[in-house]
Structure 1
Amino acid sequence: MEKQELFKIGDVAKMFHISVGSLRHYEKFGLLKPEYTDQETGYRYYSTRQFECLNTIRYLRVLDMPLDQIAEFLRNRDVKKIQEMLQQQKKRVVMKQNELQIIEKKIENRLQQLQDTLSSELDTVRIIQTGPRRITWIRNKLRPKSYLDLETSIRQLEKQQENTVVFPGKVGIGITKERLLKKQYETYDIVFLVLDQEDNYNGIVEELPNETSVAIRFCGSHADAPVYYAKLANFILAHKLTITGFSKEITMIDYGITNDITKFVTEIQIPVAAI
């Protein structure tokens, strides 16, 4: 075969708007071997009769078809076969769209949370209303001085999960009602994870009802919390409220987001009711 009937690999790549690396990958995968390879120079050449095959590969790749399925089709081209492949690929695309929608929702949740946190009024006690929340939790006594002290508990919460469900601003610790009433703020009893509605958690999930809470946000992390628990306790006493459940303490901004400790923000919520 005369070389003038052939096209260099670089020229073919330009014609089909793909990379030389892609053509080499197709060759390695057995999809499209060069018509001729110069044994002295190693240059690869393709003929026009291979262009139809390359067009088919490129079309199926645009549809995100896996290379092994493309190879199978090229070995046994058939109308029914391509119909089946396209139907299967359509199902995969729909699944991927659903996954991307979930990812988009998670991103939106985190953006809203960050915006809310950055606009917080710090060191001010507020009475807030929270809607129903899904959480999973474990009892674990600890006295965290940094986020590293929570790692073992976080791994327990994430155990056996197919996808990551632990993100900044979702992991919290709590003090039981009994300990709050005794004003014991140094030791925590619960580690919990707030689940987004789209989270598919493989384990025991508790649905928290609507809650009225006294809350405070402050610059700092868990090690700085006791003084703010005392501030909340004074507010509860002054406004004749009673504690109805365990506290929910979450670092909204910490090392997971920034190394600047002056930008850390932690929130404490204590559920209450009127006496």
Structure 2
Amino acid sequence: MEKSGLFQIGDVAKMFHISVGTLRHYEKSGLLQPEYTDNKTGYRYYSTRQFECLNTIRYLRVLDMPLEQIADFINNRDVERMQIMLRQQKEMVISKQKELEIIERKIENRLRQIEDALSSQLDTICIRQFESRRIAWIENTLSINSYLDLETSIRQLEQHQQNTVVFLGKVGVGIAREKLLNGEYNKYDKVFLLLDKEDAYSGPVEEIPEETCVTLRFCGGHKEAFVYYKRMMDFITEQKFRISGFSKEITMIDYGITDDTEKFVTEIQIPISHSEA
């Protein structure tokens, strides 16, 4: 065959700023067959009449359109079909933009939480006001000797979620009011997810009203928390406060971020009200 007016695959790849491998992939996918293939050398050649088709493929790929959909259009080209495809792709782009906006806000949340943890005043009892918060939780009595002891409960909370717990709110554990009053600080009653505003959680969610809490942050994880609960309960007794709910114990920096245990930060929150006496 006369090869004048034909371009080798490498030259076409350079002209359209794509790789030779991409052109071969288009061929295998049935999108664009070479005008001529030399049986002796295996060299592939393309003609100028294929350039418009290749340009259309490249345009649709930039729009992130699946190859199967592009192949269907290439084989059944039509103005109305193109309009439908572009409208569908526009809807997908808008949806992805919304998803990316949520991810951006969640990254900002995590950065703020880490910065907050790094600037923590440790071993100091404080009284803080918290706005209303949403939590998803399960009742589960457990002792925690390592972060692995939480895994089963986390998987239960994660079940049926489109977004994994990695992108959902912070995991925490809690001790019921009755156990706090009885000095039982080594067994937890519930595992929960403290949800961010952006989180869409499939399952029961409880909204905790605005509350005042006695709080304390310390260097360490759940297994070191016992002694800090005792200090906080002594403070609550001395100040004649009344415990009004379950504790919320959240690791702000843990194995999910660093292996350096000296950088771990955990916060305990115990909700309180003024004694009526």
For normalisation by structure 2, the TM-score amounts to 0.97
What is the 5 A alignment of 1:69-218? Answer: 69-166=69-166, 170-218=170-218
Farther-moved stretch of structure 1 (62-71 vs 249-258): 62-71
Letter in 1 for 2:23: L
Letter in 1 for 2:263: K
How far 1:169 moved relative to its partner? 7.0
| Contact 2:106 2:167 (8 Å CA) reproduced | no
How far 1:126 moved relative to its partner? 0.6
Where do 5+ consecutive residues of structure 1 fail to align?
none
Q: Does 1:46 align with 2:41?
A: no
Q: Secondary structure at the match of 2:4?
A: helix
How far 1:140 moved relative to its partner? 0.5
C-alpha change, 1:174 and 1:134, in structure 2 (3 Å) is same
Q: Secondary structure at the match of 2:186?
A: coil
Partner of residue 4, structure 1: 4
Q: Secondary structure at the match of 2:191?
A: strand
CA-based RMSD of the aligned residues comes to: 1.2
C-alpha change, 1:168 and 1:185, in structure 2 (3 Å) is farther
Q: Distance in 1 between matches of 2:94 and 2:211?
A: 38
Q: Percent identity, aligned pairs only?
A: 68
| Contact 1:169 1:250 (8 Å CA) reproduced | no
Q: Secondary structure at the match of 1:3?
A: coil
How far 1:167 moved relative to its partner? 5.1
Partner of residue 28, structure 1: 28
C-alpha change, 1:264 and 1:167, in structure 2 (3 Å) is farther
1:11-33 per-residue CA deviation (whole Å, 9 max, x = no partner) reads 10110111112111111110001
Q: 4+ residue runs of structure 1 moved beyond 2 angstroms?
A: 165-169
1:128-184 per-residue CA deviation (whole Å, 9 max, x = no partner) reads 111111101111000001110000000011111122134597000000000000111
Letter in 1 for 2:80: K
Q: Distance in 2 between matches of 1:248 and 1:167?
A: 20
